[in-house]
């Protein structure tokens, strides 16, 4: 068992997405316990408020607030970022954690395949829009929750329009993309005082597998109850990367159980290509064109 991170985060602001349950809630609680002002970003306000009260009760913290955002909706992310800029003077730690695993293909409010919209574009756009607040902190950290279940992206078919949809493939594609975005962000921010790292939390007992459905999702849900890590253990490396002085100046790395691990997904040209895809899919013009096409097709 690793020793808990012991550091005083008083005066620090930590924002955690997907914080109503699982790894996100556990990370929010741990950071609050260290004295940080924690913003729990959640999709469901009622459920999020229950989680916030539980964090307050478990930690004795006084400075934990709720922010509502649907990471699958670009309009919601933009509204969330505007509100964050109004309410916060800085963000010292951004934990991108919110994610989905879907057995059947669904689309986001923007008409984009929901796994890609949430797990990839949600990470990308949230970070992009909150960069001014991260820069205001002087020294800041971005922690992206990724996975060892990663691989198979096709940047010319990220929405499975040509391929047959498969929930595991969509999830794995998104998690490789999260790592690649981290390496690209670390390059972009080199010398800025902002670090960017990705981590694998291990096999954690969370709701994401059960919501995926299908044989794989059902099997994973059963196994998670039998032998998976508790969310607090899964969040340990998140908290380590967010708070430990040991990694203050380390960036662009992949971590498992507080240890740096080799990542086979390192290709600067592909990372830049992924950035272009993300920028295109989050531009107002491209989004409007896509929604117009879908509206015309359903008319």
Contact between 38 and 61 under an 8 Å Cβ cutoff? The reply is yes
Q: Which of 123, 165, 171, 240 is catalytic?
A: 171
Number of other CB atoms surrounding residue 280 within 10 Å: 11
Give me the residues paired with residue 67 across strands. 41
Helix ranges (DSSP H) in the chain: 22-33, 45-59, 74-87, 114-116, 122-136, 167-188, 208-212, 214-227, 231-234, 236-243, 268-281, 284-298
**In the chain, what is the greatest distance between 2 CA atoms, to the nearest angstrom?**
59
Sheet holding 13-17, edge to edge: 64-68, 37-42, 13-17, 93-96, 140-145, 194-200, 254-256, 259-261
- Asked if 195 contacts 249 with a C-beta cutoff of 8 angstroms, the reply is yes
Reply yes or no on whether 123 is catalytic: no
Helix (H) or strand (E) holding 96: strand 93-96
Burial of 181 (0-12, 13-18, 19+ CB in 10 A): buried
* Closest to 242 measured CA to CA, from 145, 144, 141: 141
Please answer whether residues 147 and 200 qualify as being in contact, where contact means their C-beta atoms are separated by less than 8 angstroms: yes
| Cβ–Cβ < 8 Å for 40, 66 | yes
DSSP string of 237-262, one letter each residue: HHHHHHH-GGGTT--S-EEETTEEE-
Active-site residues, by number, are 171
């Amino acid at each position: 068992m690793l020793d808990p991170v012991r550091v005083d985060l008083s005066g620090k602001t930590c924002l955690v997405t997907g914080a109503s349950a699982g790894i996100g809630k556990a990370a929010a609680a741990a950071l609050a316990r260290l004295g940080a002002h924690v913003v729990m970003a959640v999709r469901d306000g009622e459920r999020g408020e229950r989680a916030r009260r539980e964090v307050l009760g478990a930690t004795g913290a006084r400075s934990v607030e709720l922010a509502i955002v649907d990471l699958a909706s670009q309009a919601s992310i933009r509204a969330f970022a505007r509100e964050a800029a109004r309410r916060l003077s800085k963000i010292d730690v951004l934990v991108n954690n919110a994610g989905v695993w879907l057995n059947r293909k669904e689309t986001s409010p923007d008409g984009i395949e929901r796994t890609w919209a949430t797990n990839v574009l949600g990470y990308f756009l949230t970070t992009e829009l909150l960069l001014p607040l991260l820069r205001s902190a002087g020294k800041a950290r971005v922690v992206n929750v990724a996975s060892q279940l990663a691989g198979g992206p096709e940047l010319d078919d990220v929405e499975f329009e040509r391929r047959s949809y498969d929930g595991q493939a969509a999830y794995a594609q998104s998690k490789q993309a999260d790592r690649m975005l981290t390496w690209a962000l670390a390059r972009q921010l080199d010398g800025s005082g902002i670090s960017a790292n990705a981590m694998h939390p291990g096999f954690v007992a969370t709701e994401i597998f059960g919501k995926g459905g299908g044989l794989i999702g059902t099997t994973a849900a059963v196994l998670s109850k039998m032998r998976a890590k508790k969310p607090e253990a899964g969040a340990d490396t998140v908290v380590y990367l967010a708070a430990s002085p040991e990694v203050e100046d380390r960036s662009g790395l992949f971590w498992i159980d507080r240890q740096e691990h080799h990542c086979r997904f390192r290709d600067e040209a592909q990372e830049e290509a992924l950035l272009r895809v993300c920028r295109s899919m989050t531009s107002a013009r491209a989004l409007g064109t896509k929604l117009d096409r879908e509206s015309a097709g359903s008319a």
